[in-house]
Structure 1
């Protein structure tokens, strides 16, 4: 059964919509949400459609469903603030960029954290890197639709204490807390379709982008993911490379740096507006 794990933190007239990643939960944005809220921001950490349930729940949705839930959340937040910012982690960053491309008059700035177009980090096996590219085709042919890619350590986390806590939650079946342990092939195929679309549409992103990515990302290589955004968006960018984290930068060792950079970036835009 899907639980509603989203949360809303009322603050000033500057709002930040936070979007978690594929198979993740709003919990992976909670530390950042609290940091932004302490700085005065109104924060809404939304839950993507099909998430915080089981694999069957997720596989019943498409990237269009995930994006529809982002649009709904953005509408909820825009009714309560004057300036709206959007920030996402991993696949959530793709959805944040899509919202900025679709509604340039709405989105004042984008937080792009560990953006993932390709699963090509150092922990991803070669066979998986090659297979993931074929997943949209396999989905159309209805092949391997009951298969999942089970994550292996370090699970996007360099901090061993946090890694142990997250892994225990994932494998306990508490998907509302730490997300799913496996990435179902149908969901991965949907994400590949979203990534393909956003590669083509990056130039339509005119809002300023704060791009933060680990230089040692185990899931998504910085050069083929974050640098892609830096190179192709039309708006101004600030690029921050983290050297003591892995993929899940919002909860890993440099989570405080993510908060500080985000607060300064969004505040600067709000003051200019």
Structure 2
């Protein structure tokens, strides 16, 4: 499939080699690495080794995304994790939206993960349940670029495959069912106004994980894609402080 759809400019994976502490960075559903690059650069500037992976079927064309499964997305984040493991002794995982869901998955299945940082992570999105049952359309409207800051656009698909919605629902169900397996330190960011993932997802995660160290920070001035929004610097600073604290 991929030979028909080159990776869009700005959606390429990014890698920064730094010290022996690694940060795995994952973008969200229908999005691309563009939404996470500013964070990746800031973490690299602080000296860390950073892997900003491109999830399979993302950053190319929504028809390619339609062919990918949630297991493909898990394989993508596992691949990025292996890249970091070769270079680092300690690994943090952070993600936006479905990238946050995948960060939870990594903490559930890799107890050696040092800590996770979640930005509007998704485990329960009732609107997607409804959308997945639509039978007379292959593609629905875009969900990307939910940003409050004027003039900023997310590099995301202009359509959402119904098949892909079915896949993310399976991923969320699996991850949500295993939240009690998570014991590593967890930093949760939640936008008070989010038109994609209901803000109560943050409370579900906070209450169900068994981490002794867990924090929620509310983003007052950003919508869903908070990494490109008004609270970007706040997210970077809080994350860097949290990493220092949990090392």
TM-score by length of 2: 0.91
Report the counterpart of residue 215 of structure 1 in structure 2.
Answer: 192
Matched, 1:108 2:102: no
The residue that corresponds to 1:156 in the other structure is 146
CA distance in structure 1 between the partners assigned to 2:130 and 2:194 by the alignment: 23
State the 1:80 CA deviation: 0.4
Stretches of structure 2 that go unaligned for 5 or more consecutive residues are: none
Change (3 A) 1:145 1:204: farther
1:25 corresponds, among 27, 32, 42, to 32
Aligned to 2:222: 245
Matching residue within 34, 47, 56 for 1:49: 56
Residue 255 of structure 1: aligned partner: 232
Deviation at 1:104, TM superposition (A): 0.4
Which residue does 2:209 correspond to in 1?
233
CA distance in 2, matches of 1:194, 1:52: 20
2 CA distance for matches of 1:194 and 1:15?
25
Q: What displacement does 1:242 show? A: 0.9
Q: Deviations over 1:83-115 (max 9, x none)?
A: 10100100110011101100102x100011011
In structure 1, how many angstroms separate the alpha carbons of the residues matched to 2:234 and 2:130? 36
Distance 1:205 1:136 in 2: 28
Contact 2:92 2:115 in 1 (8 A): yes
Task: Specify the SS of the correspondent of 1:238.
Answer: strand
* Runs (5+) with no aligned partner, structure 1: 121-128, 167-177
**Any idea what the Cα deviations from partners look like across 1:95-139, whole Å, max 9, x if unmatched?**
11101100102x10001101122346xxxxxxxx2xx3145566x
Residue deviations 1:114-171 (CA, integer Å, cap 9, x gap): 1122346xxxxxxxx2xx3145566xxxx3462223348xx310101214xx4xxxxx
TM-score (norm 1): 0.83
* Structure 2 residue 102 is the aligned partner of structure 1 residue 95: yes
Per-residue CA deviation, residues 207-246 of structure 1 (Å, 9 max, x unaligned), is: 11100011112222212x1111100011121110111111
Answer yes or no: is the 8 Å Cα contact 2:66–2:163 preserved in 1. Answer: yes
CA distance in 2, matches of 1:55, 1:250: 22
SS at match of 2:58: coil
Q: Which runs of 4+ in 1 moved over 4 A?
A: 134-138
Counterpart secondary structure, 1:49: coil
How far, CA to CA, are the matches of 2:143 and 2:176 in structure 1? Answer: 25
- Number of matched residues? 239
Quote the residue 1:75 is aligned against: 82
CA RMSD of aligned residues (A): 1.7
Please tell me whether residue 14 in structure 1 is matched to residue 6 in structure 2. Answer: no
